[in-house]
Amino acid sequence: MDKRLEATVTTAFDPIDLAGIRLRNRIAMAPMTRSRAYGPGLSPTASTAAYYAQRASAGLIVTEGIQPSPGGQGYPDTPGLHSAEQVAAWRKVTGAVHAAGGRIFAQLMHTGRIGHPSLLPDGLYPVGPSAVPAQGSVYTANGPKPFVVPHELNEDDIWQTVEDHAAAARNAMAAGFDGVEVHGANGYLVHQFLAPNSNIRVDHWGGDDRRRTRFAVEVVRAVAAAIGPERTGLRISPGKALGDIDEPDPAPTYRALLRDLEPVGPAYLHLVESPDRELTRELRDRFGGVFVLNPRVEGGHAGPEQLSLVEDGTADVLSYGALFLANPDLPLRLRRGGPYNSPERATYYGGDDRGYTDYPALPADEPRTDATTTPSTATAISATEVTA
């Protein structure tokens, strides 16, 4: 390669402008459920602040899924952003991240039909676009419980849920977050509206590709109106079968989604990749903002080999899950070519600080490898990525 051309290649270690926010690099921490909201009213703790601050060298941190309303909870001990005490607790987390030089977005996650009545307060019940239960079970305080038939949201319910997301976005800004990511992936409520097997409505919220995208568009629009499109992102996972989702032909739905989001102009799109790399490239070409990719890796998770996806233009930013969980200083390790801590699956969800804040960082005086180490010479670990 001509040295003059080589010098202009963008790498994952270069900064990027995210709608006016400067990210120090193009390596993001993906949202990962940790089920450790042990503070009052399902609020984060001092350990949560330490956990995220340890990982502040990421260009962008996206938090674990945060329920925008009490009825949006689907797992034990997940945090919310719908009360004053939660806002106050999150302010300590964002303050710690900012003091360490990081940027952090709150992911708003309404789980919809994924959950159980025993996880919800005051007689609330899981909801969905249609009264279609997911197959499988969810973990509760009393062990695994089968998913129930969700309450089908009516028109008033839908608009209240949209407003709940906007209110939680305003709370996120009051708590000091740099922005908000709407969780439209992995089988949760927004994804349930997008998918034809969980949304069997025949009104203007379902029935064809365009109408099934409406709820996602309205949520993103409401969040953008509340805090600004430059502070709004959306995560999607076309074709992902999590949460008993079945999207046999996702491309038309997601083309319609991006077309209807164009007037809104969210700052970024965060794609959990399917096996269809061509769809990834198409969505990347269709989206006008920053394109964040959580790349699919056959039989594993994203590692150093995927850094080339920034260099070849497939993505603007790469998000890492399990590798970031176990390596708080992941950007440095990726630049140096390792070594990498291995994540402990037994400590992913719940528990104390073990497997949470005790993964070691590299010593400050550790000898450097060549900073231009290529992904093919770096060592990857073998683990399954935890996603929310």
pLDDT (tens digit per residue) in 16-70: 999 999 999 999 999 999 999 999 999 999 999 999 999 999 999 999 999 999 9
Predicted confidence (pLDDT) per residue in 43-53, tens digit: 999 999 999 99
- Average of per-residue pLDDT across 194-213: 97
pLDDT of residue 386: 52
* 18 in a structural domain: yes
pLDDT of residue 227: 98
188 noted as active-site residue: yes
Mean pLDDT, rounded, for 245-271: 98
Place 299 in a pLDDT band, splitting at 50, 70 and 90. Answer: confident
385, pLDDT greater than 60: no
Catalytic choice (51, 52, 188, 254): 188
In a domain, 354, yes or no: no
The 10s digit of each residue's pLDDT in 250-261 is 999 999 999 999
Residues 29 and 27: their CA atoms lie apart, in Å, by 7
The amino acid that residue 169 corresponds to is A
Q: Assess whether pLDDT exceeds 90 at residue 217.
A: yes
Within-domain flag for 84: yes
- Tell me the per-residue pLDDT of 95-143, one tens digit each, with 9 for 90 and over: 999 999 999 999 999 999 999 999 999 889 999 999 999 999 999 988 9
Does the residue 249 lie in any domain?
A: yes
Structurally, the chain folds into a number of domains equal to: 1
Characterize the bridge pairing of strands 127-128 and 151-152: parallel
Q: Is 364 contained in some domain?
A: no
Q: Which of 33, 154, 34, 29 is nearest to 103 (CA)?
A: 29
Range of the domain at 50: 11-319
Mean pLDDT of the chain: 92
Any domain includes 351: no
Question: CB–CB of 183/238 below 8 Å?
Answer: no
* The overall pTM is greater than 0.75: yes
Q: Is the residue at 229 inside a domain?
A: yes
CATH number for the domain spanning 191: value is 3.20.20.70
Position 297 scores a pLDDT of: 85
pLDDT one-digit tens code per residue, 159-177: 999 999 999 999 999 999 9
The string of pLDDT tens digits covering residues 350-372 is: 999 999 999 999 987 654 443 33
Kindly state whether residue 28 falls inside one of the protein's structural domains. yes
